[in-house]
DNA sequence: TTGTAGGCGTTATCAT
DNA sequence: ATGATAACGCCTACAA
């Protein structure tokens, strides 16, 4: 492979000049720069990342930490991240962080992240698996502040890092209020098990939002019903099925803390022979890609935008053009209610 | 940050020995190794990747190229890849390759991949965007063979690379035969536009499978109907809608070349007031995560397994323990018909 | 504006 | 089994 010397020789300049010219440093005459560029192009030269990184002390890499990439939200954010990171000249190092066990296993590897990346993007990670213990733990030098980072929809804040997300309490409140406005009174909240490693990070807050809305509507405490399910669509389905099997009146509406749960509820209701929204209304929170397909009403969060904002914040910081001078920023983006076919006024009033 | 010298000093050995001991090379006495390990642990030492890479001539990184990560299939494969690459000591460099324009734009960057990675995993990329032109193009030195790689469900083979996938023709044939067996005769094939950059790579082959099955069943040519749609769920929905608007008898079944299309068809049929499977049967190919939720019958490909097999092949190759001695392998994994609620015998015969 | 030369932290080679 | 010592390929003072 051609090295910097080859280019220097062909262009008739020193290696230092080649380095400067190719990186667009100002102290190079345009004529020289052209010559160097030409020579580099002819030889198909690209600087060796390993060498530049060693000499320059920067990795030119951003670690993106996700619980798993297959899920909808992380996928969207990572998509956005790639799209921004690449043109900015950064490599994207993908890293899974799983549940608690997982995290413990991977702690050593994650701990040497500072040597391989310039910054970290932590996406959609439940509080349980938060990177805080990883980056702030004293046994690892508590380097949180040394390595810049941004969290997106993460359960627990990482000290010293900026964060981007939505107001989960408000989102759930809006969802619940929508049902209340339609006339529903027997509304059940379906949420994920906080102990589950893959439960949506905002789940707990969203339960709060449900409660707030219900209480504000003057709902008696015994009518505020929260059902906790195992994670994912299947968890939502099962929980809903057993909810329907309970004695007493069936709820007229279900507010799920995330769309996957809501979709599980849809399946369970359909199997139980109940019509949505004729018999039961269902609303979710997330704006999941497939909510549209199944006609699920939801409070959507701007996932891609969250990702772009997060990466933008990170890049600003890395480029030294951050506003607050290193002070963590806290971005809250608005959600919006997306009306579809899964909600309607209750049949009997 | 602590360097190798610090460890060497503390352990009372040379840096060379530290390097050897920590990497598990055989020429180190157990006693020494223990001492070195201890010292390294005490100091929290990890070798600098940049330096190792420069000195060792290996990047310890695998590039994973996907059209976009948000889609289902790539997501699953990347998940599997991360899970295998990490413990093997490889970093995962995520890289988008978009459509034709995209590819052209990114060609220069992609071309310097050989300097940043030891191998490439190309996932679910339509023929149009195949990496072949990137890695085999003469203007880039035609380094295809220099950089080991594996494709997973990629449209066009990359010369010199191994490939992992399913038999797309057979998969579609199985799907079509299922409908034929149920008694359907007016079966329409719904597929993606080959010109679309995000169309499923196996689409063309799957159309072949449909034709083969139809012909084998003695279907008259005019009853072999193929509808081409724009990509994604929406494309499937629109194409199905306009199909239903056509004069003449409605088909009794739809064979979609991928599950997303099939789900689009489900939406269109529902909106048109047609019942599935009572009025129209729908079958897809893919085994998409959400097919289960919407009750879609499909011919499933083992996505995660494909990913694991691909990475395994790559790791074997990198470790020098490949079977055929550098000869590209071709793995075809079996699919399976998953019966759900979207297919049934036609109403009238 | 450009060139010179030392250093970045490891690994590999060659002795011992 | 271990140690000394070149590379590895680039960047960054510093000098010119």
pLDDT tens series, chain A, 349 aa: 899 999 999 999 999 999 999 999 999 999 999 999 999 999 999 999 999 999 999 999 999 998 877 789 999 999 999 999 988 999 999 998 865 455 545 555 666 788 999 999 999 877 656 555 555 444 444 444 468 899 999 877 888 889 999 999 999 999 999 999 999 999 999 999 888 777 888 899 999 999 999 999 999 999 999 999 998 899 999 999 999 999 989 999 999 999 999 999 999 999 999 999 999 999 999 999 999 989 999 999 999 999 999 999 999 999 887 666 668 899 999 999 999 999 999 986 5
pLDDT per position as a tens digit, B229-243: 998 899 999 999 999
Chain A hits for B289, CB-CB cut-off 8 Å, are 70
CA distance A239 to A161: 36
Helical (H) or strand (E) element with A268:
helix A259-271
CA distance A131 to A123: 10
CA distance B349 to B345: 9
DSSP code string of B235-260: HHHHHHHHHHHSSSPPPSEEEESSHH
Length, in residues, of chain A? 349
Helical (H) or strand (E) element with B302:
none
pLDDT attached to residue B348: 67
Half-sphere exposure of A77 (CA within 13 A, CB side): 33
Cβ within 8 Å, pair A54-B59: no
User: Which nucleotides of chain D does any protein CB come within 7 A of?
Assistant: 1-5, 7-13
DSSP A223: G
Tokens describing residue A178: 């929508």
Choose among B273, B261, B213: nearest CA to B237. B261
Choose among B101, B125, B310: nearest CA to B201. B125
Alpha carbon of B300: minimum distance to chain A alpha carbons (Å)? 17
- Torsion B154-B160-B166-B167 (CA) sign: positive
Tokens describing residue A203: 């789940």
pLDDT per position as a tens digit, B273-296: 999 999 999 999 999 999 998 999
Cβ within 8 Å, pair B82-A76: no
Peptide bond preceding A277: is omega within 30 degrees of 0, i.e. cis?
yes
Is B174's pLDDT higher than 80? yes
Distance from CA(A51) to C1'(D5), angstroms, rounded: 20
DSSP B283: E
Residues 31-90 of B with CB under 7 A from strand C: 45, 47-48, 51-52, 54-57
Is B166's pLDDT higher than 80? yes
Is B98's pLDDT higher than 70? no
Distance from CA(B61) to C1'(C12), angstroms, rounded: 21
Q: Is the CB of A5 under 7 A from strand D?
A: yes
Helical (H) or strand (E) element with A272:
none
Is B323's pLDDT higher than 90? no
pLDDT attached to residue A195: 80
Pick the residue of A1, A45, A70 with the most B CBs within 10 A to test the interface with B by mutation: A70
- Facing residues of B227 across strands? B190
Pick the residue of B84, B94, B143 with the most A CBs within 10 A to test the interface with A by mutation: B94
Chain B hits for A89, CB-CB cut-off 8 Å, are none
Q: Searching chain A, which residue's CA lies closest to the CA of residue B303?
A: A70
Phi, psi of A151, rounded to the nearest 5 degrees: -105, 145
Residues 4-43 of A with CB under 7 A from strand C: 12-17, 20, 26-29, 31-33
Answer whether A10's CB lies under 8 Å from A39's CB: yes
Tokens describing residue A174: 């809006």
Using pLDDT thresholds of 50, 70 and 90, give the confidence band for residue B113.
Answer: confident
More reliable by pLDDT, B155 or A221: A221
Can you tell me which residue has the tokens 């933008």?
A312
Q: Searching chain B, which residue's CA lies closest to the CA of residue A71?
A: B75
Choose among B74, B20, B89, B83: nearest CA to B288. B74
CA distance A236 to A99: 20
Using pLDDT thresholds of 50, 70 and 90, give the confidence band for residue B108.
Answer: low
Residues 6+ apart with CB under 8 A from A98: A67, A68, A106, A129, A197
Residues 75-94 of A with CB under 7 A from strand C: none
Can you tell me which residue has the tokens 């000869």?
B327
CA distance B141 to A44: 9
Q: What share of chain A is helix, strand, coil (3-state, %, to 5)?
A: 45, 15, 40
Instruction: Kindly state the average pLDDT of the residues B196-214.
Output: 91
- Torsion A111-A306-A197-B85 (CA) sign: negative
Distance from CA(B323) to C1'(D6), angstroms, rounded: 36
Q: Searching chain B, which residue's CA lies closest to the CA of residue A52?
A: B50
Choose among B155, B173, B153: nearest CA to B165. B153
| Terminal C-alpha separation, chain B | 77
Distance from CA(B284) to C1'(C10), angstroms, rounded: 53
Half-sphere exposure of A311 (CA within 13 A, CB side): 27
Chain A hits for B92, CB-CB cut-off 8 Å, are 93-95
Distance from CA(A7) to C1'(C4), angstroms, rounded: 18
pLDDT attached to residue A139: 43
Chain B hits for A141, CB-CB cut-off 8 Å, are 44
């Amino acid at each position: 492979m051609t090295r910097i010397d080859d280019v220097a020789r062909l262009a008739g300049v020193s290696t230092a000049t080649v380095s400067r010219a190719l990186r667009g440093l100002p102290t190079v005459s345009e004529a020289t720069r052209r010559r160097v560029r030409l020579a580099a192009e002819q030889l198909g030269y690209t600087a060796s990342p390993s060498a530049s990184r060693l000499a320059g002390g920067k990795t030119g890499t951003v670690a993106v930490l996700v619980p798993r990439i297959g899920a909808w939200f992380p996928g969207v954010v990572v998509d956005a991240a790639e799209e921004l990171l690449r043109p900015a000249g950064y490599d994207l190092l993908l890293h899974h962080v799983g549940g608690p066990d997982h995290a413990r296993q991977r702690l050593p590897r994650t701990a040497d992240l500072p040597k391989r990346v310039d910054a970290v993007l932590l996406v959609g990670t439940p509080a349980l698996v938060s990177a805080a213990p990883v980056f702030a733990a004293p046994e690892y030098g508590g380097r949180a502040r040394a390595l810049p980072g941004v969290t997106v929809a993460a359960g627990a804040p990482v000290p010293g890092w900026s964060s981007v997300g939505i107001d989960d309490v408000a989102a759930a409140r809006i969802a619940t209020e929508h049902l209340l406005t339609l006339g529903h009174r027997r509304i059940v909240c379906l949420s994920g098990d906080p102990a589950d490693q893959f439960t949506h990070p905002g789940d707990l807050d969203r339960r709060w939002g449900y409660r707030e809305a219900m209480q504000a509507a003057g709902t008696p405490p015994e009518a505020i019903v929260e059902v906790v399910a195992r994670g994912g669509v299947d968890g939502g389905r099962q929980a809903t099925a057993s909810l329907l099997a309970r004695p007493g009146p069936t709820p007229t509406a279900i507010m799920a803390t995330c769309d996957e749960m809501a979709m599980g509820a849809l399946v369970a209701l359909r199997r139980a022979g109940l019509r949505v929204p004729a018999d039961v209304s269902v609303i979710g929170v997330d704006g999941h890609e497939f909510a549209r397909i199944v006609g699920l009403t939801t409070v959507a969060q701007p996932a891609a935008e969250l990702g772009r904002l997060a990466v933008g914040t990170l890049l600003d910081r890395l480029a030294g053009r951050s506003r607050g001078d290193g002070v963590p920023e806290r971005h809250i983006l608005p959600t919006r209610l997306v009306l579809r076919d899964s909600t309607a006024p209750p049949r009997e009033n």
